[in-house]
């Protein structure tokens, strides 16, 4: 429910109450300010000569909050705390390639998961990645 009140700000009397409007709003909550569209609304009464109030409104989540209720917090990280971005709709963490875990804080040991990862080379695990060291007589590129 949104309520707006109007007062006269003249210099003759105190700020007199002129009118009160009330409206029940059903608006879309957008994930961010950049995506939020303005909605144009009018508050008016159907009887008599009552003033109307026209306004525009847009609702969006604070930065790093997601879902239509803005109740899921996620802040993208690429540090010791974790390696992830945030899904724009759900706010769920999306791990960078090479990381796993609830906070994407655990390195994936690609070499132990796939013994054929480097064909004719030696696989060397590293944080968030791996390297293939080619055997003598072989050249090539690894693909992540
Ligand atoms: Ca790794």
Q: Which CATH number characterizes residue 72's domain?
A: 2.10.25.140
The answer to whether residues 139 and 97 belong to one domain is no
Distance in Å, CA 133 to ligand 1 centroid: 15
CATH of the domain at 142: 2.10.25.10
**128 vs 33, 80, 98, 104, 137, CA distance in Å?**
32, 12, 4, 10, 28
Distance in Å, CA 73 to ligand 1 centroid: 27
Distance in Å, CA 83 to ligand 1 centroid: 12
The answer to whether residues 49 and 89 belong to one domain is no
**128 φψ region: left (φ > 0), alpha (ψ -120 to 50), beta (else):** left
Q: For the segment 9-28, what is each residue's pLDDT rounded down to a tens digit?
A: 988 889 999 889 888 889 99
Distance in Å, CA 74 to ligand 1 centroid: 24
The answer to whether residues 11 and 54 belong to one domain is yes
Q: What is the pTM of this model?
A: 0.68
Q: Which domain holds residue 137?
A: 109-144
The answer to whether residues 9 and 55 belong to one domain is yes
Q: For the segment 74-131, what is each residue's pLDDT rounded down to a tens digit?
A: 999 999 999 999 998 899 999 999 999 999 999 999 999 998 889 889 999 999 999 9
- For the chain, the domain total comes to 3
The answer to whether residues 122 and 143 belong to one domain is yes
Q: What residues are neighbours of ligand 1 (ion), with CB under 5 Å?
A: 107, 125
Distance in Å, CA 7 to ligand 1 centroid: 65
């Amino acid at each position: 429910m949104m309520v707006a009140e109007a007062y006269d700000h003249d210099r003759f009397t105190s700020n007199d109450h002129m009118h009160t409007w009330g409206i029940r709003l059903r608006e879309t909550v957008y994930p961010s300010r950049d995506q939020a569209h303005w909605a144009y609304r009018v508050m008016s009464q159907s009887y008599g000569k009552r003033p109307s109030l026209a306004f525009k409104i847009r609702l969006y989540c604070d930065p790093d909050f997601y879902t239509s209720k803005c109740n899921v917090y996620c802040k993208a990280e690429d540090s010791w705390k974790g390696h992830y971005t945030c899904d724009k709709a759900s706010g769920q963490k999306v791990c960078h390639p090479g990381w796993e875990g609830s906070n994407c804080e655990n390195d994936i040991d690609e070499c132990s998961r796939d013994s054929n990862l480097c064909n004719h080379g030696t696989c060397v695990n590293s944080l968030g990645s791996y390297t293939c060291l080619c055997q003598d007589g072989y050249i090539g590129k690894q693909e992540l």
